Amino acid sequence: MHEYGLGMVQSDTEALRWYRASAAQEYVRAQFALGVMYAEGRGVVADAVEAARWYRRAAEQGDANAQNILGRLYASGDGVTRDAATALHWYALAAQQGHGEAQENLAIACAEQGTNQLPSEDCR
């Protein structure tokens, strides 16, 4: 509510405080929201490493949006060490949940990988 100013004054600082408290209790939506806030520099200095950390926590709990974004981060090396195999893994997990963008990202990554080496298990 603080993030969007619903029924109160908008405050990224307050939103961060509440998201951190909820994320500490393993609330996946708060973990994802912290990833977004660190990625965009909302209420904090933009920090790709910290964003990736929060996306990973949400992804490990099965959040398909976080899994797809984490795949993109590994594909680009933004906030993490670039790793095509790890990108494929996260895309595949999100794609298995029906995440359309992840399905597209997986198909593209598999096609690109196929031109360089044998496809990963995630491409089969």
Domain extents in the chain: 1-61, 62-124
Other CB atoms within 10 A of residue 45 CB: 7
From first to last of its 124 residues, what are the pLDDT tens digits of the chain? 444 444 545 678 888 999 999 999 999 999 999 999 999 999 999 999 999 999 999 999 999 999 999 999 999 999 999 999 999 999 999 999 999 999 999 999 988 876 555 456 777 6
* CA–CA distance, 36 with 51 (Å, rounded to integer): 7
Q: With contact defined as beta carbons under 8 Å apart, do 38 and 73 qualify?
A: no
Say what angle helices 100-114 and 64-76 make with each other, to 10 degrees. Answer: 30
* CA–CA distance, 93 with 8 (Å, rounded to integer): 37
